[in-house]
Chains A and B, each alone.
Chain A
Amino acid sequence: MKSLRFILICLVLFFIIFPLFMMTKYSVSDRESIVTGGKYPEPFFPFSPTLEMFRALSARNDFVGAGFTSLWVGLLAVAFSLFLGAPTAFALARFKIPGLAVLLFFLLSVRLFPDISAVIPVAELLLSRPFSLLPPVVLVGLAHTLLALPYTVYIAKGVFESIPRDLEEQAHVLGAGKARTFLKILVPLALPGLGAAAIYTFFLSWNEFIFAYFLTFQGTETTLPVYLLRILAWSPQKNFISAISLVICIPVIVFTFLVQRYMKEGLTAGAVK
């Protein structure tokens, strides 16, 4: 049994690692390792590894521009969804609201639509006046807020629920109003949890393709995944495509590994409570 499990785990790991290995390999490949002309099989390791593609990418204004667009869209989505979501989450966690279940359903209801269905009305709305006057970065940021906001509210609701009520009461006794208590006592305490929601939102936005694609279909300014698709249209070489792909993936992989520990701790802490 044990050796069978070991073999199966190795197979699954191979299956998981293989595409990532190919991506990394292609991104550092030299020309001879890719353009074989059918004379010899593609080598499993490039003949002479090179960082040429990354150098070429860093010199391309459109690529660097797409990187910054992705960054700004992500930060905007984080700012919008925290600004809108944190107060709502607080209200849900603290105050007695009649018909809570119905309200929660309405909060999630927008996610009942598949992205590819929802994107048509959203694009029709945001690409017509007056919204079309806003810069594309803001439009995509608004769309990503729509995707992330329900999750932000849910995560933040859990965070606020884990903060003892006594703190608020004490602040109240000492003469702080509701708004002041929220801003000076609760928000600082909730910051680590809200940080988790922010990271989640940022990477949702960083990886998102459908809304960014529809909302930036006409213009030149776009996010990294859509940039990758546009590059594909001129069927460039494998090393160039792979280098772009790798640059998109690296921040997400690094963060997934870094945050995973805290995510697990968060999950177990929630379970004990």
Chain B
Amino acid sequence: MKFVKFLIAGTLFGIVMAKSEALSWFRIQEMFRFQSFHMYGIIGTAVTLGIIGVYLIKKFKMRDLNGNPIEIQLCFFQKKKQPKDI
């Protein structure tokens, strides 16, 4: 049951990728040929809101559903960060 929320989040993600056409090879070609703003708009909006949100999460030291401090963990960074951060 604890995975249901991830299933819902994933479903929402799949719908967004399809409805935004971001998964279309045509849209990606259009982006790399600099012939439309569409993909840049999607990535730009997501990253701009993401930067603001992550800043606020850190500023207000927000916590997740389990009560742990929220931090972005990417496997690439985990390796390097752990010794220094602890």
Chain B associates with chain A: no
Question: Which residues of A are interface residues toward B (Cβ below 8 A)?
Answer: none
Question: Which residues of B are interface residues toward A (Cβ below 8 A)?
Answer: none
